[in-house]
Amino acid sequence: MPTAIASVERLPHLLTLDGLGGDRIHALLDAAEALRPHALGGTGLRQVLAGRTVCNLFFESSTRTRSSFQLAAQRLGADLLNFDVAASSLSKGESALDTLRSLRAMGVEAFVVRHAEDGAVAALAAAAEPGTALLNAGDGRSNHPTQGLLDLLTIRQHKGGDFSRLAVLIVGDVRHSRVARSALHGLRQLGCRDIRVCAPVGLMPDAAELAGCSHGTALDAMLEGVDVLMALRLQRERMEEGRVPSAAAYFNDYGLDERRLALARPGAIVLHPGPMNRGVEIASAVADGPQSAVLDQVANGVAVRMAVLRHLLGA
Ligand code: NCD
């Protein structure tokens, strides 16, 4: 019997998937699955967070994450404040914590925060007054827990809930990817035993982070038997000098095209968190092809964020 999310101890924040445990992760996925029919509009759930206020506080740009948190909050009936960092007093030197405290004083209960610095959202959570929920929408290269949950939900929908039988390959700039780190946290806790990481040497994470994974630099040789392929964007903004490969050379060695997809298990699905750079890490024929689950990921993101907001706000 799956554990219902209502029966597990409520989390004060969602900062990372690391350490949540398989039962809690499955319970959050079950809650998101149940919300899926309501997630894409006209929900009839607008009483759930009526009178509650959620704030998007994004210090880095975003399309999917920011919009889907906004829609998730609104479809549950919350008031949503889309805080404009660039036009705020943050540009006059006010700290993120003072900003958060001011917004808290206006009645904001949950903050969805994206920040370029590793650990920045956890630091805000540690300093915030009790009763303030922090949701990490991506910090540096460290964590992106709701992306991890939506990736797991998409895999579960397409491939079933027994992760121990699946082979998952993450390819690309794994070193700088918070998406990959959250995926690794989640996959390990759900019992996935065949996790493969493929990256050029300069974009491979440190050895300690690869515990329990097989890893290599030659993509073709790692594709056999793979059920799930996750491609990642080159995080040029997080790379030190000298690590940035040319787009053409990168596509040649690590781009997911139809020839490579055919080397995976028939029916394998392709994931990409977006934003996609077509012709760099993924070919259009794959991104838009029948094995692509990219838009399922996006749709699942709304349901996952509804489930997480409802859980953290105890609604
Ligand atoms: C990613 C992010 O910001 O970490 N996108 C997302 O949230 N869907 C990945 C990226 O920027 O490459």
The pLDDT tens digits of the residues spanning 145-190 come to 999 999 999 999 999 999 999 999 999 999 999 999 999 999 999 9
Same domain, 177 and 49: no
Between the CA of 272 and the centroid of ligand 1 the distance, in Å, is 9
Residues 304 and 273 in one domain: no
How far does residue 235's CA lie from ligand 1's centre (Å)? Answer: 9
CATH number at residue 77: 3.40.50.1370
Q: Which residue shows structure tokens 């298990």?
A: 265
- Is the shortest distance between the CB of 179 and ligand 1 below 6 Å? yes
Is 137 close to ligand 1, i.e. is its CB under 6 Å away? no
> What's the domain range around 236?
145-297
Q: In this structure, are 12 and 72 located in the same domain? A: yes
pLDDT of residue 1: 45
Number of alpha helices (DSSP H) and beta strands (DSSP E) in the chain: 10, 9
One domain for residues 197 and 130: no
Torsion sign, CA atoms 89, 93, 96, 98? negative
For ligand 1, whether the C-beta of 147 sits within 6 Å is yes
Same domain for 92 and 234?
no
Q: What is the pLDDT of residue 5?
A: 76
Q: What is the per-residue pLDDT for 7? A: 72
Q: Are residues 33 and 118 in the same domain?
A: yes
Binding site membership of 233 for ligand 1 (Cβ less than 6 Å): yes
Q: Are residues 231 and 188 in the same domain?
A: yes
Atom number, ligand 1, closest to the C-alpha of residue 138: 4
274 CB within 6 A, ligand 1: yes
Ligand 1 centre and the CA of 122: distance in Å? 19
The conformation of residue 129, written as its DSSP 8-state character, comes to P
pTM for the predicted model, two decimal places:
0.97
**CA geometry: angle at 138 spanning 315 and 222, to 5°?**
115
- Counting every residue, how long is the chain? 315
For residue 9, the model assigns a pLDDT of 84
Same domain for 153 and 291, yes or no, is yes
Q: Which of 9, 47, 44, 51 is nearest to 28 (CA)?
A: 9
Say how many domains are in the chain: 2
Q: Are 66 and 33 found together in one domain?
A: yes
Same domain as 149, residue 134? no
Q: Indicate which residue's Cα is closest to atom 7 of ligand 1.
A: 65
Same domain, 195 and 108: no
Q: Which two tokens stand for residue 84?
A: 């404009």
pLDDT of residue 242: 61
Ligand 1 atom 11 nearest Cα: 275
Q: Ligand 1: does its nearest atom lie under 6 Å from the Cβ of 273?
A: yes
Ligand 1 center to residue 52 CA distance, Å? Answer: 27
Task: State residue 243's pLDDT score.
Answer: 66
Q: How far is ligand 1, taken at its centre, from the CA of residue 51, in Å?
A: 30
Q: Are residues 126 and 151 in the same domain?
A: no
To test ligand 1's pocket by mutation, which of 64, 65, 142, 149 has the most ligand atoms within 8 angstroms of CB? Answer: 65
The pLDDT, as a whole number, for residue 91 is 86
Q: At what angle do helices 145-159 and 294-312 cross, to 10 degrees?
A: 120
Ranges of the chain with pLDDT below 70? 1-3, 241-244
Give the distance (Å) from ligand 1 centre to CA of residue 63: 9
Distance 145 CA to ligand 1 centre (A): 11
Q: For ligand 1, is residue 71 a contact (CB within 6 Å)? A: no
Closest C-alpha to 108, from 127, 87, 86, 132: 132
